[in-house]
Amino acid sequence: MNKFYITTPIYYANSLPHLGHLYTTIVADTINRYKKQRGFETYFLTGTDEHGINIQRVAEKNGRTPQAQVDFISDELKKVFADFGLSYDIFMRTTNPYHYEAVQDLWREIAKNKTPKGNSPIYKGYYDAWFCAACAEFKTEKEYRLENNEPICPVHETRLEKVSEESYFFRLSDYAETLLQIIEKTEIVRPEARRNEVVSFIKSGLQDLSISRLKSAVYWGIPVPDDEEHTMYVWLDALSNYWTAIKHEKGNEAEQYWANVTHLVGKDILRFHTVYWFSFLLAAGLPVPKQVYAHGMWLDADGRKMGKTLGNVIDIGILHKYFSNDAVRYFCLREMVFGQDGKFGYENFIERVNSDLAKGLGNLSSRVLTMIRNFCRGEIPEGIINDANYLNAKRAGVAPDAQEVAKILETSRNEFLQQFDDFEFSRALETIWSAIAKIDKFLSDAKPWNLAKEESQRETLEAVLYRATESLRWFCVLLYPVMPQATSEIYTQIGLTDDIANIDPSGLKYGELKQGIKIGEIKGVFPNLDKVKIMTEIEKDINQLAVSTQKSATEKVAGEKSGQTDHENDPEQFITIDDFLKVELRVGEILVAERIPKADKLLRFEINLGESAPRQILAGLAEFYEPETLIGRKVVVVANLKPRKMRGLESQGMICAASLEDGTGEKPALAAFIENVDIGARLK
């Protein structure tokens, strides 16, 4: 039997599960079920990435040990996957003891080999660079932007940290040509647009990669072999799980699974899963994966990136409360073209479910089976129209043979399988829903409820209902990987008892539905959703959650003020009143505001703080304010900020403005006053 290995990313155990985790795992679960139907012996991996400085920091913030933190997140993910009916073969955790040993063995294997240019793949050096803890990656000058002269990660919109320490390096630069040969002219990386991005990154020049941190800085990680003072780079540790897990679980058969492995990843981590991961494998003498497929991100219904500050996050708890698992699966696979970004909103979710599921497949199933119960004694009827009734069938507008229906099913099946093999899930579902619409029209045109009134049309009636029921059987088998529960229920209602999960859709033949089978109890699998009612309830839940969150935050602050704090050992969590008094906030009036040549973001201000001369202050407001509109405004200025030079000009303070920290690009609001205040007054 052919082997197939599918993986999701192992999700970083620093935050609770969200829609991104759910989506990728739904896709992997669907592919896994489909491959099993097609006769593959499959293995499905998901899990958690549990090491690194971010875990340390989140654990400290939450008053937990790192192990308690990763245990908590792993349990939460498992619960979500169980709630949504997702089944995997292994929930991989990088804190598994066997993974420690296997990753250290992989390091040793890499270290003893040579690069394509004959050099040692690993060497010790010194690193002095900017680091993003959220990305777990050092950033080159091309990979960050400067904002007020501070380096900012463009992914997480956070300030980078300066790291200067001894480090082990991986000689990534020696693998550029080999990587291009593997990636550039093959489909190992998909979709094509993402492959082009990876190729462009490689061609821009690869720099050697720091693959360790001093234990004194990052203690929560796997020790470097034979050097306990260093811990492994978290991405080397995490990426290796795909290999260490299958090797541990399948032993001698691991290579067979690895020969047909597909990694599903978000587009934001594609570089790690191609450039870095492929190079690590090549250095260790192991084959690269068969395929890495990068999917897009979910946006809200208005096309905006989702974020807590915008209040547009899809709560997976709400999805589970109000919608069936199969409805969620269908929407995710139908709405997002795999590889591109997609829009997800509760309202468009309800509309899609009602139009496609309730009024489409669900309605067809109920109509057909109800007519079999009412007109055919609840048994699958004869599907053949004999020559004697040829004219009766023609008079009813029904073709005497079933070739028209059979052709619809076979053509749709063949297109669906090709599209599914290519991970074109949205197109595949569109293909089947086109077939459902054709069968629905066939049924409406034939009007079996009228045929039932004429005894002479008995054979035509039964043939029409047989063809419609046989179509339902095909749809159930084809759609099982996408909607396993609903299709299994419809399949049972037809009266079929074999295991739909093990039926290869490529082997479906028209006419194999047996006459005389007693249908089961008819139940609607996709009831029509009351949009107004559900949206009202969802809004209540969202508001209650917001109130609960605010209450929890208030109680937490109150507890901390009374000495009941979880952060007593975290001196950076809060400032004292003494710290606050060090900041000198003063009222200033803008006298001059003008653009700086060749500086797109900066404005130059002269501000009256009630001193002998105006202050010159530079601020990144040029994208949001026309300079002339700011003259005469009273603003809040940090007056005792150490002066610094930007664009050759000295800035002697900072203007205070409120802005979101999620990178949405919303206009910052300058701090202002309702009442009249004197120039130079100090804020206390």
pLDDT tens, position by position, 521-536: 999 999 999 999 999 9
Residue 569 has pLDDT above 50, yes or no: no
Each residue of 28-87: pLDDT tens digit? 999 999 999 999 999 999 999 999 988 998 999 889 999 999 999 999 999 999 999 999
Nearest residue to 60 via CA among 432, 430, 573: 573
| pLDDT for the residue 561 | 46
| pLDDT for the residue 542 | 84
3-state SS class at 246: helix
Residue 93 has pLDDT above 90, yes or no: yes
Is-catalytic flag, 156? yes
Is-catalytic flag, 305? yes
| pLDDT for the residue 623 | 78
Give 70 or 560, the one with higher predicted confidence.
Answer: 70
Q: Maximum CA pair distance of the chain?
A: 111
| pLDDT for the residue 663 | 44
Asked if residues 121 and 171 have their Cβ atoms less than 8 Å apart, the reply is: yes
Which H or E run includes 145? strand 145-147
Tell me the average pLDDT of the chain. 89
Residue 650 has pLDDT above 90, yes or no: no
| pLDDT for the residue 454 | 92
| pLDDT for the residue 584 | 85
| 3, 21, 51, 634: the active-site residue | 21
| 3, 36, 51, 132: the active-site residue | 132
Is-catalytic flag, 132? yes
Query: 328: which 2 tokens?
Result: 């969620």
Cα angle 301-326-27, degrees, rounded to a multiple of 5: 75
| 139, 153, 263, 376: the active-site residue | 153
What's the mean pLDDT in 109-134?
Answer: 88
Each residue of 448-463: pLDDT tens digit? 999 999 999 999 999 9
| pLDDT for the residue 572 | 43
Residue type at 109? Answer: E
Percent of the chain with pLDDT over 90: 65
Give 2 or 628, the one with higher predicted confidence.
Answer: 2
pLDDT band at 568 (very low <50, low <70, confident <90, very high): very low
Residue 250 has pLDDT above 50, yes or no: yes
| 135, 332, 376, 476: the active-site residue | 135
Sign of the torsion formed by the C-alpha atoms of 187, 191, 196 and 198: negative
Each residue of 159-188: pLDDT tens digit? 887 777 889 999 999 999 999 999 998 999
Query: 515: which 2 tokens?
Result: 């006459």
Nearest residue to 26 via CA among 277, 316, 435: 316
| pLDDT for the residue 563 | 46
Give 396 or 14, the one with higher predicted confidence.
Answer: 14
Each residue of 455-513: pLDDT tens digit? 999 999 999 999 999 999 999 999 999 999 999 999 999 999 999 999 999 999 999 99
C-alpha span between 337 and 424 (Å, rounded):
7
| pLDDT for the residue 136 | 65
- For the chain, the first-to-last Cα distance in angstroms comes to 75
Cα→Cα distances 645→583, 649, 650, 651, Å:
20, 5, 4, 6
Per the confidence metrics, is the pTM higher than 0.85? no
Residue type at 412? Answer: S
State residue 658 phi and psi, 5-degree precision: -100, 135
| pLDDT for the residue 664 | 46
| 18, 61, 248, 447: the active-site residue | 18
Each residue of 217-240: pLDDT tens digit? 899 999 999 999 999 988 899 999
Query: 549: which 2 tokens?
Result: 């969150």
| 215, 248, 290, 305: the active-site residue | 305
| pLDDT for the residue 553 | 47
C-alpha span between 180 and 241 (Å, rounded):
24
pLDDT band at 19 (very low <50, low <70, confident <90, very high): very high
What's the mean pLDDT in 187-204?
Answer: 95
pLDDT band at 633 (very low <50, low <70, confident <90, very high): confident
Residue 637 has pLDDT above 70, yes or no: yes
pLDDT band at 595 (very low <50, low <70, confident <90, very high): confident
| 78, 156, 359, 447: the active-site residue | 156
Residue 576 has pLDDT above 70, yes or no: no
Residue 357 has pLDDT above 70, yes or no: yes
What's the mean pLDDT in 651-666?
Answer: 70
C-alpha span between 632 and 623 (Å, rounded):
19
Nearest residue to 617 via CA among 600, 587, 637: 637
Residue 155 has pLDDT above 70, yes or no: no
Residue type at 542? Answer: I
Nearest residue to 270 via CA among 297, 293, 250: 293
Residue type at 390? Answer: Y
Nearest residue to 3 via CA among 289, 252, 240, 259: 259
Is-catalytic flag, 99? no
Percent of the chain with pLDDT over 70: 91
| pLDDT for the residue 185 | 85
